[in-house]
Amino acid sequence: MEENLDCSDSNILCSDTTSSCLDEFGVSTACDHHLKIQGDDRIKDMVEKEVQHLPEDDYLKRLRSGDLNLSVRREALDWILKASAYYHFGPVSFCLSINYLDRFLSVYDLPRGKTWTIQLLAVACLSIAAKMEETKVPQASDLQMGEPKFVFEAKTIYRMEVLVLSTLKWRMQAITPCSFIDYFLCRICNDQYPSSSSMCRSLQMILNTVKGIDFLEFRPSEIAAAVAISVSGDMQTVAIDKAISSFTYVEKGRVLKCVELMKKLFINGAATAAVTTQQRSSASSTVPQSPIGVLDAASCMSYKSGEITVDPNANLSKEETRQRQ
């Protein structure tokens, strides 16, 4: 069977009729941004710089061993997901938030027994990411949607932002898998623009990689390359090898290892995910039997990018923290 990746030389734009894009986490945005395919020189530069924006080498080991409390990361991740969905932030903002979170947790020990610090850290990470990526940025105090256990004043969030920034040495323009995905899809498409559906499914899978900790083993470029291969569908082994050989700046062995992990976690678990999806839905639609099917059923995920619009006087007022009864 020939490789089955939907490619097109048209612009990567979602039409108005498919502008609502929803992933399994509930993150919803509009597919309204034209992607610029990165050149080889730019990709080489990003691969060299991505190591500057990774957690410490022992971070994954400490999470797996229990030296670091995995529930801390999970709690922060859950809140960031909900807030990102509520404010319709794009996948880049979400990935940046988790990048900041992981890097911070890998070098800074939060005080034990003070559960409010976890939520405060999550708010600060998302606030910084939104300022880096989104064109419409709510004030930090307004990010606390829903009914959080703790509600923080703007000046408290601001101080936490400063702590995160200083701890990460102000290296906030992090390289994420979203930075590479258009390039690798383009390579698989024989240097044509990938279709919007392929891009959306790729971004959906990238978001899935941050759900757990397993993909912390890989660099963003390796994850993006593996995702590009995974969404290609029924590519023959020869076609996969050819695609990887065109990925000049990543290690073939590590990309293949990442692909296998995606198969294990996403494809082998698709039946369970499909049953869960069916149980949650009152509709009598056909249950997708593959992760690609699940992603298709969830429509697509948008890629948002833009210049920063931030009020420099924001986040500097009101009182301290109060606990909601």
* Inter-residue contact 110 to 121 (CB < 8 Å): yes
* Confidence at residue 197, expressed as pLDDT on a 0 to 100 scale: 84
CA–CA dist 217, 131 (Å, integer): 28
What does the block give as tokens for 246? Answer: 């065109």
Q: What is the CA radius of gyration of the chain?
A: 20
CA–CA dist 219, 221 (Å, integer): 5
**Sequence-ordered list of residues with C-beta below 8 angstroms from that of 73, at least 6 positions apart, any chain:** 63, 101, 102, 105, 213
* Confidence at residue 87, expressed as pLDDT on a 0 to 100 scale: 92
* pLDDT tens per residue across all 325 residues of the chain: 333 333 433 322 233 333 334 455 555 334 444 445 567 788 888 999 999 999 999 999 999 999 999 999 999 999 999 999 999 999 999 999 999 999 999 999 998 888 899 999 999 999 999 999 999 899 888 888 777 788 899 999 999 999 999 999 999 999 999 999 988 888 887 767 777 888 899 999 999 998 889 999 999 999 999 999 888 765 556 566 777 776 878 888 999 999 999 988 876 555 444 444 444 444 333 333 333 333 333 333 333 333 323 333 333 333 334 444 3
Question: Which residue's entry shows tokens 């829903």?
Answer: 146
Pair type for strands 20-22 and 28-30: antiparallel
CA–CA dist 182, 114 (Å, integer): 41
* Inter-residue contact 105 to 73 (CB < 8 Å): yes
* Confidence at residue 38, expressed as pLDDT on a 0 to 100 scale: 67
CA–CA dist 45, 248 (Å, integer): 12
pTM of this structure: 0.74
CA distances (Å), origin 151, targets 16, 145, 165, 277? 37, 10, 21, 33
* Inter-residue contact 198 to 172 (CB < 8 Å): no
**Sequence-ordered list of residues with C-beta below 8 angstroms from that of 22, at least 6 positions apart, any chain:** 28, 298, 299
Taken in order 305, 223, 232, 46, the sign of the CA dihedral is positive
* Inter-residue contact 249 to 243 (CB < 8 Å): no
**Sequence-ordered list of residues with C-beta below 8 angstroms from that of 114, at least 6 positions apart, any chain:** none
